[in-house]
Amino acid sequence: MKQPPAWRSGATTRAGARAARGGERVAFNATPLLAVKLPRWRSMLLLFLLFCAFTLLAGRAFYLQGGIGTDFLQRQGEARYARTLEVPATRGKVTDRNGVVLAASVPARAIWAIPEDVDLAPRELAQLAQLLQMPVSELKRKLAAEDRNFVYLRRQVEPEVAERIAALKIEGIHASREFKRHYPEGPTAAHVIGFTDVEGRGQEGIELALESTLAGRAGSRRVIKDRLGRIVDGDWQRMPVDGRDVVLSIDHRIQYVAFSALKDAVEAHRAKAGAVVVLDVKTGEVLALANWPSFDPNRRDRWDAATLRNRALTDTFEPGSTLKPFSIAAALDAGRVSPELRVQTAPGRMTIGGRTIGDAHPHGVLTVAEVVAKSSNVGTAKIALDLPAQTLWQTYTAAGFGQAPSGASAGFSGAVAGRLRPYEAWRPIEQATIAYGYGVSVSLLQLARAYTIFARNGDVVPLTMMRTEAPPAGVQVIKPETARAMRRMLELAVGDEGTAPAARIAGYRVAGKTGTARKLQNGRYVNAYVASFAGFAPASDPRIVVAVMIDEPDTARGRYYGGDVAAPVFAQIVAGALRTLQVPPDGAVDKVQGRPIEPPRPPLQRLAEVAWVAQ
């Protein structure tokens, strides 16, 4: 049986008895009544359990803070405040040679939606559709795709519009940053510059050719954001590399002159298309390169595939008479003929190997210079047939025909080589026709480049779309004296007796050659023409080469000759370009195309400063 607890049987203890007996005071804490006798193992057990618990805690703490579980917790923590941000690189600008922006990226917004989150009142829907410039039905259709959790409503929206959309505070509509490429010159320089896709990757022209230079590289950074979304600390970052700017050789003023002259001519002659190339003779820089029809690179929705083609680079044509100077130059260079040598071209027909070639008008006896000026096929054929085929081929090849121009680094994407068959395969009739520009195909860029051998001293330089400071070294094609002789002949070709008096301008001596070539369709020559003109100015010390090509001018009115169609375009462009370049005049100014001029009205100003006068 168990003993009763001591405090219950207090009276039986000695001290208790003493206190009871004598009223002797005992301190409370020493009261024997309170002296508890616990078994020692209980306290030990408790202590042990406490020890175990603390050990567990310490272990857990160690596990979480210093050991195995740490990574997980840190990741979880970071996931709540750290963000990896994409830092986009800005695409480089494209400018003309004077720093005028031709293409630049400007921030824009992409508006997107999570369809299932969007619940629009009809009024909001109308507002949103109006801001996005799309019909309500289209917006509804886009938002109806509930199975998708992401849909772009419109991309490349102006930031102001995006802000107004954000101000509507519609749930499920979001905006993200992106860039929009702007082309201030619009259709004028569209083919040169090309365009990018909606993601900012180059697709055509310079944008494609120099993609790696322009693009840059996006960076990223790891940051810590506070609850307000502000970036409060950075962890690491890889800086974005912005795309580099590209300075083209194009002069946007000359480009405009070329473009508008071409456009007017193509429209006036109801032609299918046209192209113009303007080169700097000294440096081989392309000062202007225009095509019509053109497109506005800012308005993607209105593009037509046919207008996107850079005809001056990618299309070849049989140039016809514009190639004659090269065969004449080959003969001059070989010492076979001199400019004064007389050639019988009567009766204006000539039969070679069973095929007959002919002139538009019979000319009789002509000097070699007159053969060029009057563009006699028979005379050219006779001179060329006197040459070894190899010599002619070599001159053509050295001038760049049949050769693709130096590649994409110079900015020519998609430039073609044209076609010049190997001379071993030429039959005499072919040698004759190739001499006056049939049976050989060239691009307008090649034609313009080839004319630099006359404009320079018989050498040719590689062309470039980039602004260059130092003129490159040329490769000699013909002798300098041959080039000089050809310059004089080509000046005669725009004289009163030549085929292109319309190419002349006041104040400058010009030189050049017309071409009117029948088009070959399905292996047959049809009643459609390519009118061309290639030339240079000022003739005394050439600065620019201009080549013009008009495809299929309207034949109905009988004005489809290079001299009627392409030469006036040349004159317009040369006048504008030389004024822009402030080239001092070298020619007579009292007569323009035989028309006398009255004295001027003051005030006098420097030539290039006044571009506009009162009507």
d(CA 553, CA 549): 10
Of the residues 7, 112, 256, 303, which one makes contact with another protein according to CB under 8 A: 256
614 makes contact with another protein (CB under 8 A): yes
597 makes contact with another protein (CB under 8 A): yes
- The label of the residue with tokens 């803070």 reads 65
What string marks each residue from 155 to 194 as x (binds another protein by CB under 8 A) or -?
Answer: ---------------------------x-xxx-x------
Run of H or E including 394: helix 389-398
Q: Which residues are catalytic?
A: 321
What string marks each residue from 560 to 579 as x (binds another protein by CB under 8 A) or -?
Answer: ---------------xx--x
Instruction: Report CA dihedral (72, 77, 82, 83) to the nearest 10 degrees.
Output: 60
109 makes contact with another protein (CB under 8 A): no
d(CA 494, CA 505): 10
Least spacing, CB of residue 604 vs another protein, in Å: 5
Q: Give the DSSP per-residue string, 445-478.
A: HHHHHHHHHHHTTSEE---BSB--SSPPPPEE-S
100 makes contact with another protein (CB under 8 A): yes
- What is the side-by-side strand order in the sheet with 524-537? 286-292, 273-280, 544-551, 524-537, 511-521
470 makes contact with another protein (CB under 8 A): no
70 φ/ψ sector (left φ>0, alpha ψ -120 to 50, else beta)? alpha
239 makes contact with another protein (CB under 8 A): no
d(CA 137, CA 125): 10
227 makes contact with another protein (CB under 8 A): no
Least spacing, CB of residue 331 vs another protein, in Å: 36
Stretch that binds another protein, among 36-44, 194-202, 248-256, 413-421 (CB under 8 A): 248-256
Q: Which residues lie below 8 Å from residue 39, measured CB to CB, with a gap of 6+?
A: none
What string marks each residue from 504 to 523 as x (binds another protein by CB under 8 A) or -?
Answer: -xxx----------------
d(CA 514, CA 531): 8
589 makes contact with another protein (CB under 8 A): yes
Structure tokens at 557: 């009115």
Least spacing, CB of residue 30 vs another protein, in Å: 32
CA angle 30, 36, 39 (to 5 degrees): 145
Question: Could you count the other beta carbons within 10 Å of the beta carbon of residue 48?
Answer: 11
CB-nearer residue toward another protein: 363 or 467: 467
69 makes contact with another protein (CB under 8 A): no
218 makes contact with another protein (CB under 8 A): no
477 makes contact with another protein (CB under 8 A): no
Find out whether 287 and 544 touch, Cβ atoms under 8 Å.
yes
Q: Which residues lie below 8 Å from residue 294, measured CB to CB, with a gap of 6+?
A: 187, 188, 190, 191, 259, 263, 307
537 makes contact with another protein (CB under 8 A): no
CB-nearer residue toward another protein: 38 or 613: 613
How would you class 372 by CB atoms within 10 Å of its CB: exposed for 0-12, middle for 13-18, buried for 19 or more? buried
Residue 606 DSSP class: -
Of the residues 232, 239, 306, 404, which one makes contact with another protein according to CB under 8 A: 232
CB-nearer residue toward another protein: 185 or 318: 185
- Give the binding-site size for another protein (rule: CB under 8 A): 51
CB-nearer residue toward another protein: 103 or 210: 103
Stretch that binds another protein, among 104-112, 345-353, 364-372, 546-554 (CB under 8 A): 104-112
CB-nearer residue toward another protein: 234 or 362: 234
Structure tokens at 245: 């700017």
Residues that bind another protein (CB under 8 A): 90, 93, 100-102, 104-107, 182, 184-186, 188, 226, 230-234, 252-253, 256-257, 260, 505-507, 575-576, 579, 584-585, 588-590, 592, 597-601, 604-605, 607, 610-615
